[in-house]
Amino acid sequence: MPSPDGDARSDGAICVDPSSAHESPVADGAGEAAVRLRNAAFGYASRARVARLNLEIEPGSAVALIGPNGSGKSTLLRGILGLAERVEGEVEVLGTSPARARRRTGTLPQADTRETELPVTVRQVVRMGLYRELGALRPLGRTGRDAVDAAIERVGLAAFAQRRFGELSGGQQQRAILARALVANPQLLLLDEPFNGLDRENRDTLLTLVAELREEGRTVIVSTHDLEIAQRACTHALLLSAGHHPEEPGHPAAYGPLDSALTLEAVEHAFQDATVELDHHTVTTTRETE
Amino acid sequence: MDYTLVEVFSLPFMARALATVVVLALAAGVVGLGISFRELEFVSDGLVHAVFPGLVIGAAVGGSAGLLPGAVGAALIAAVLFTVLGRRTNGGGNDVAIAVVLTGLFSLGVVLVSQQHSYVSQLQALLFGHLLTVTPEQFWQIVVVAVLAVGIMLLTLRAQLFRAFDPVGFAAAGFRPLATDLALAAATALLTVAGVQALGVLMVVALLTVPMAVARLLTRRFALLIPIAVLVPLAAGSLGLWWSFAWSVDTGGTVSAGAVVVLLLVAAYGIAVLWRLAGRALARLGGGADAGAARSGAATGGGAR
C-alpha cells in the first residue's frame, strides 16, 4: 500500500504497544510523544465507549482514526481533549494532562455543532480561536489581527472574511473552523469527520492543508470513514472496531504506520457488514460471529 | 397632545422615569444579546415569574426596602435552577420542567401576596410595575443592579459568543460551559430584577427579549445589534412615557406608562417583521435573479481550491 507521499515515511510513529516498541520507525529516541495512552478507556457515566488503547503518537504524525459508527472515534478524540471521562488507564497529551494541553490543541468538531443563524462573520469566527489566550478583555491587537488574517488566508477564505458564516457553503464553513483551530498556532490538531458532505474541491483543499500541517511538524489526528483520506494525507492509521454488542466498547483493530495498519484484513476486522474501497478494490465485509 | 417632550421630562418624576428607561435600555441591549443568541427567551420568562414570590416575600419582610433583596435572591436561585435543568437536557432547556417551575412559583407569589392587607394594590404594583413613581432610592437600586448585569455580560461576552456559536468547539477550546451559562443566567436574573419594579412581572419579559429580537430582524451585522437593541427600548420608552403622560392628563385617568412602553416595543417588533418580509419580497421580485446569481457565486466561487 502506498503512503500518502508515495514512499514510506519515517517522521512519526504510533508505537502500538509498549511491549512492541520496535515497530515504531522512530523508536530511537525521538522527543516526547504528542499523545501517550496506557491501557486507556474513555466513555461517559463510568461506562467505557472505547477501551484497550495502548499507543504513542509521535510529534509530526498525521493519524487517520478509522472505524465504523459506534467504534468510539469521537469519544477517543474527546478523551484526548479531556472532555470524555477517562474510565481507566493513563493519558498524556503534549507531555501533560489533556485539560492542560487544550491551550496547545486545535479542534475541528463535527459540522452539525454550529449555530449558523447567528450573524457572525468568518473573521469573528476565526477570532474565537484566540479568545482563550486573550481572556475576557485583552484587545486583539495587531499581532492577533495578523494571525487571524493569516489563518483565513491559509484556508483560502480571504475573499470571504467579512461574509456571514451561515452564508458559506459546507466546505467553506469547514475551512473557516479549521482557520479558527489554526489561529492559535496549535501543536496538536484534532479533526472530527472534517470531510463529511464535502465536494471534491473542498475535500482536496482540506487534504492539502492536512498534509502541509503535518510537514510543519504539527501532529494531526483526523477521524474519518473515508479510507482514501487516510491514504492521501496521513502517515499512520488507527483502526477502531465496534463492540460485538452495544455494551461492549469499541477497541483498536490495528494501528501503526499506514502501510502496515491499513490492510484489507484490518479493514475487514474493523468494518463489519460494510462495503469499503481500498486500493481500488471494493471490499464487502461480513459480521464476525463469536 | 399639548405637551412637548421637554415640558414633560422637565417634571422630576418624569425625568426619573426617563432615566430609568435609559438605564434599562442600555442593560437590555447588552444582556439581550446573550438571551437571543442562546435562544433563552422562554427561560427568561421562567426567571421573571420566579422573581414574583421573591418580591412578595421581600415586601412582606422588609416593606419596599425588601423588594430588591427578595427579587435578587429569588432570581439568582431560579437562574441556577434553570441553568442546571437546561444542562441536564444538553443545553436545550427543559421546557416542561421550566413551565412547571414557572407556574408553580407564580402561584406561590399570588398566594403569598393574597395574605397581605393591601392585596389588590400590591398585586397591581408587582404585576404592572410603577414606572412613573420610581423613587430616587429605587432608581439607584436599578442602576446598581443593571450595572452588575451589564458588567457580567461584558466580562463574559467573548465566551458567550463562542458558546452560542459552537458549544462543542467552545468546550474543546478549554472554556467552562457551566460557568458561562451561570454568568448569563445571573445577568438575565439581574436585568429582570432591575426591570421588574418599573415594568412589573407581566411585562418585563418584553424588555429582556423584544429589543434584540427587533435588532436581529433589522440587521445582519453583528456590530449594529447592540446599538439597535438599545435604541429601540429607548425610543419606545421615551415615546411611551410622553404619550401616557399626555393621555392621562387629557383623559383625567391613569394610563399605565409601562403598558404603553411595552405596546410600543411590540409595535416595533411588528414593524421589524414587516420590514424583513418586505425586504425578502423585494429581493424576490426585483433583484431576485441577480441576488440568486450572486449567492450562487458566493457559495461556489473564490477561496482556495
Give the tens place of pLDDT for each residue, A86-111. Answer: 999 999 999 999 999 988 999 999 88
Chain A residue at shortest CA distance from B170? A128
The pLDDT of A24-48, averaged and rounded, is: 73
The band of A283, judged by pLDDT with boundaries at 50, 70 and 90, is low
Q: What is the mean pLDDT of residues A253-268?
A: 81
Output the pLDDT for position A21: 31
Chain B hits for A167, CB-CB cut-off 8 Å, are: 295, 298-299
First CA to last CA across chain A, in angstroms? 30
Give the Cα separation of B255 and A288 in Å (integer). Answer: 78
> Which residues in chain A have Cβ-Cβ distances shorter than 8 Å to B299?
167-169, 172
| Residue corresponding to grid cell 492536512 | A210
Q: B173–A177: do the CB atoms touch at under 8 Å?
A: no
8 Å CB contact between B180 and B236: no
Q: How far away is chain B from the Cα of A244, in angstroms, using its nearest Cα? A: 28
Burial of B73 (0-12, 13-18, 19+ CB in 10 A): middle
Average pLDDT of the segment spanning A13-17: 35
pLDDT tens, residue order, chain B (305 aa): 577 888 889 999 999 999 999 999 999 999 999 999 998 888 888 888 888 888 888 888 877 778 888 888 988 888 888 888 777 655 444 677 777 877 888 888 888 878 777 666 667 777 778 888 888 988 999 999 999 999 999 999 999 999 999 999 999 998 989 999 999 999 998 998 888 888 888 788 898 999 999 999 999 899 999 999 999 999 999 999 998 888 888 777 777 888 889 899 999 999 999 999 998 888 888 765 454 444 444 433 333 32
- What band does A275 get if pLDDT is binned at 50, 70 and 90? low
Which residue, B35, B12, B55, is CA-closest to B201? B55
C-alpha cell of residue A48: 467505557
Q: Would you state the cell numbers that stand for residue B166, as one nine-digit string?
A: 459552537
- Chain pair A-B, CB pairs under 8 angstroms: 105
HEC secondary structure over chain B:
CCCCHHHHHCCHHHHHHHHHHHHHHHHHHHHHHHHHHCCCHHHHHHHHHHHHHHHHHHHHHHHHHHHHHHHHHHHHHHHHHHHHHHHHCCCCCCHHHHHHHHHHHHHHHHHHHCCCCCHHHHHHHHHHCCHHHCCHHHHHHHHHHHHHHHHHHHHCHHHHHHHHHCHHHHHHCCCCHHHHHHHHHHHHHHHHHHHHHHHCCCCHHHHHHHHHHHHHHHCCCHHHHHHHHHHHHHHHHHHHHHHHHHHHHHHCCCCCHHHHHHHHHHHHHHHHHHHHHHHHHHHHHCCHHHHHHHHHHHHHCCCCC
Report phi then psi at B225, rounded to 5: -60, -55
A191 to chain B: which residues are within 8 Å by CB? Answer: none
Question: Longest Cα pair distance anywhere in chain A, in angstroms?
Answer: 62
Q: Are A195 and A114 in contact (CB under 8 A)?
A: no
**pLDDT (average), residues A61-77:** 89
> Chain A: nearest CA to B108, how far in angstroms?
36
Interface with B, mutate which of A131, A175, A201 (most B CBs under 10 A):
A131
Q: In this structure, which amino acid lies at residue B244?
A: S
Is any Cβ of chain A less than 8 angstroms from the Cβ of B73? no
- CB within 8 Å of A141: residues ≥ 6 apart: none
Cα-flanking dihedrals φ and ψ of residue A58, to 5°? -80, 150
Query: Taking CB atoms and an 8 Å limit, are B304 and A172 in contact across chains?
Result: no
Which chain A positions have a beta carbon within 8 Å of B158's beta carbon?
128, 131, 134, 136
What is the structure's pLDDT at A3? 34
Nearest chain B alpha carbon to A115 = B165
Q: Which stretch of A235-239, A286-290, B146-150, B276-280 has the lowest confidence by average pLDDT?
A: A286-290
Q: Name the band, by pLDDT with cuts 50, 70 and 90, for residue A30.
A: very low
Pairwise CB contact (< 8 Å): B303 & A157: yes
- Would the pLDDT of A12 be above 50? no
The whole-model pTM stands at 0.81
Cβ <8 Å between A131 and B304 = no
**Are A113 and B167 an interchain contact pair (Cβ–Cβ within 8 Å)?**
yes
Q: Do B172 and A99 touch (CB under 8 A)?
A: no
Please tell me the predicted confidence (pLDDT) of residue B235. Answer: 95
Residues in chain B closer than 8 A to A119 (CB atoms): 216, 219-222, 225
Give residue for cell 491501557.
A39
Helix axes B136-155, B67-88, angle to 10 degrees: 30
Note whether B164 contacts A118, CB cutoff 8 Å.
Answer: yes
3-state secondary structure of A162: coil
Rg (CA), chain B: 21
Say whether B162 and A128 touch across the interface (CB within 8 A). yes
Q: Is B24 exposed, middle or buried (0-12, 13-18, 19+ CB in 10 A)?
A: buried
Which residue from A minimizes the CA distance to B224? A119
Chain B (266-295) residues lying within 8 Å, Cβ to Cβ, of chain A: 295
Cβ <8 Å between A136 and B175: no
Q: Is B158 on the interface with A (CB under 8 A)?
A: yes
pLDDT of residue A7: 33
Q: Are B222 and A110 an interchain contact pair (Cβ–Cβ within 8 Å)?
A: no
Contacts of A96 in chain B (CB under 8 A): none
Closest chain A C-alpha to B303 CA, distance in angstroms: 4
Tell me the pLDDT band of A41, cut-offs 50, 70 and 90.
very high
Chain A positions in Cβ-Cβ contact with residue B173 (cut-off 8 Å): 102, 107, 128-129, 131-132
pLDDT at residue A198, as a whole number: 80
The CA-CA-CA angle for residues B107, B112, B117, to 5°, reads 135
Rg (CA), chain A: 19
C-alpha A93/C-alpha B114 separation (Å) is 61
Please give the pLDDT value at position A280. 59
The pLDDT value recorded for residue A110 is: 86
Q: Give the per-residue pLDDT at B4.
A: 83
A109 with B169: Cβ contact below 8 A: yes
Q: Which residues pair with A254 in a beta bridge?
A: A239
Picking from B90, B154, B166 by the largest number of A CB atoms within 10 A of its own CB, the best residue to mutate is B166
Question: Band of the pLDDT at A260, cuts 50, 70, 90?
Answer: confident
Nearest to A81 among B172, B295, B303 (CB): B172
Mark yes or no for CB contact A134/B303 under 8 Å.
Answer: no
Q: What are the C-alpha distances in Å from A236 to residues A73, A220, A229, A281?
A: 15, 10, 11, 20
**Residue reference for cell 412615557:** B241
Residues B99, A9: Cα–Cα separation, whole Å: 60
**What letter represents residue B17's amino acid?**
A
Q: Which three cell numbers stand for residue A27?
A: 523508536
Specify whether the CB–CB gap between B227 and B25 falls below 8 A.
Answer: no
SS3 letters across B14-78? HHHHHHHHHHHHHHHHHHHHHHHHCCCHHHHHHHHHHHHHHHHHHHHHHHHHHHHHHHHHHHHHH
Minimal C-alpha gap between A105 and chain B (Å): 8
For residue A5, is pLDDT > 90? no
Which tens digit of pLDDT belongs to each residue from A160-205?
999 999 999 988 999 999 999 999 999 999 999 888 878 888 888 8
